[in-house]
Structure 1
Amino acid sequence: MSTESDITPSAADRHHPLLKLALELGPLMIFFFANLRGQWLVETFPALSELGGPLFVATGLFMAATIISLIVSKIVLGHLPIMPFVSGIVVVIFGSLSIWLQNETFIKMKPTIVNALFGVALLGGLAFGKSLLGYVFNAAFQLDAEGWRKLTIRWGIFFLFLAVLNEVVWRNFSDGTWVAFKVWGTMPITIIFTLAQMPLVLKHSINLETEGEK
């Protein structure tokens, strides 16, 4: 399976924006509600008790939903978006370790690992004169070189911030609080940050059709 390697948005990306959003948020929502209703799920589907407590049941369903999401992305969009693809790999590895060893630490550290990985990759790429952010936002917008550089720095720092924030929350609060924050805290923070970047995006946006006619 290949991942998207061209920063130019594909037709499928442009035609299925809501599907892409659902595929990325769907597994997280399943994780949240499975943890919230873990006991009910075990009583309704006794086989799930083999996974362990509510958080382990939620982790197992999260892994399954993530894999299904990636399969649908490949079939419908024709490629695997980089961020969900990398995140999915970490979910499967750390989720499996959590269930196998019955140790919640692995799945709790997954957001830390993923965000730190993206932050280091983005900032490290700039050190070699390469903005990798275009591969992440390939279907959203196109910027000039300076725009990608500035946006990459901001997102790199933001990812590192999310990594630290996840460590603070899971190490100092209950499982339920961590799961809730993962869905209802991290997402709003990310949305607010994304919207805050719009002035920069608008300032450095380019029109691909216009560029192609020059």
Structure 2
Amino acid sequence: MADRIIERSPNNPAKKEMNPLLKFALELGPLLVFFFANSRGEQLADTFPVLHDLGGPLFIATALFMAALAISLVVSYAIQRTLPLMPLVSGIVVLVFGGLTLYLQSEIFIKMKPTIVNGLFAAILLGGLCFGKSLLGYVFDQAFKLDAEGWRKLTLNWGLFFIFLAGINEVVWRNFSTDFWVAFKVWATMPITVVFMLFQYPIIRKHSIAPAEGTDAS
């Protein structure tokens, strides 16, 4: 049995590695399920009549999104015997706000979810920096290795970026249609994030450290 549920800290030699493409698929997959279910909600309800009880397409999409996210976490745990920190936090918020969305039949809760999640991530990252902890390493430690200063800079930048994402979600869901909000959430947020990540490359290149080839006996 694993000696812990949550993934280990960055650069911990006991931390299990996951294929980056598989990690990306597990994190993106639930979003694609959400988009597909929202755009094909009526057809899905006709094929599976039990889905009619959930309500309109957005409510069907919310339920399937919650299920896909739970499956993603189960698969992550089955592979690594630990749960990734950030997806776990996001999953808890999704289950709470998704449950409220379905129970109260109100779209507001699921639309506010990205605001809450991104705001929470910003608070975690920036709050961690206040205590000298660069928590972003939990997310990207499997992709690259950085020195402490590199993780500090990236954590600060991502904390501010999450505040930006929370703000833009508020603007979109309050001023545009539900279909536009879903499309923006799936197809615009990711490219914006990719562009942001590209701008972080100079920091990554400057602060990268070579993986240890052996154990230091000293």
State the TM-score, normalized to the length of structure 2: 0.92
- Cα shift at 1:5: 2.3
Quote the residue 2:131 is aligned against: 128
Post-superposition CA distance 1:62-87 (Å, at most 9, x none): 00101011001100122211111111
Identity of aligned residues (%): 63
Q: Tell me which of the two structures has the higher relative contact order, counting C-alpha pairs closer than 8 angstroms and 6 or more residues apart.
A: 1
Q: Which deviates further from its counterpart, 53-62 or 117-126?
A: 117-126
Render the CA deviation track for 1:89-119: whole Å, top value 9, x for unaligned: 1111100100000011111111111100111
Q: 2:87 is aligned with what amino acid? A: P
Structure 2: gaps spanning 5 or more residues: none
Matched, 1:51 2:54: yes
Could you say which structure has the higher helix fraction? 1
Name structure 1 gaps, 5 residues minimum. Answer: none
Equivalent residue pairs, number:
212
In the alignment, the residues of structure 1 paired with residue 95 and residue 111 of structure 2 have an alpha-carbon distance, to the nearest angstrom, of 13
Among 96, 99, 118, the alignment partner of 2:99 is: 96
User: Which amino acid letter does the alignment assign opposite residue 190 of structure 1?
Assistant: T
Counterparts of 2:108 and 2:171, CA distance in 1:
13
Go from structure 1 to structure 2 and tell me whether the alpha carbon gap of 1:131 and 1:87 turns closer, same or farther (over 3 Å shift): same
Q: CA RMSD in A?
A: 1.6
Counterparts of 1:190-209 in structure 2 under 5 Å? 190-209=193-212
Once the two structures are overlaid, the 10-residue window that deviates more, 142-151 or 62-71, is 142-151
Cα distance in 2, alignment partners of residues 17 and 157 from structure 1 = 24
- Bigger mean CA deviation after superposition, 171-180 or 80-89: 80-89
- Find the partner of 2:21 among 18, 21, 25: 18
User: Whole-Å Cα distance in 2 between the matches of residues 181 and 212 of structure 1?
Assistant: 47
CA contact (8 A) 1:12 1:76 kept: no
CA distance, structure 1, for counterparts of residue 214 and residue 155 of structure 2? 22
Letter in 2 for 1:155: W
TM-score with structure 1 setting the length? 0.94
Distance 2:74 2:144 in 1: 25
CA distance in 2, matches of 1:118, 1:32: 23
Runs ≥4 in structure 1, deviation > 2 angstroms?
Answer: 8-12, 210-214
**Structure 1 residue matching 2:212: 3-state secondary structure:** helix
Q: Return the alpha-carbon distance in structure 2 between the equivalents of residues 201 and 139 of structure 1.
A: 13
Q: Does 1:36 align with 2:6?
A: no
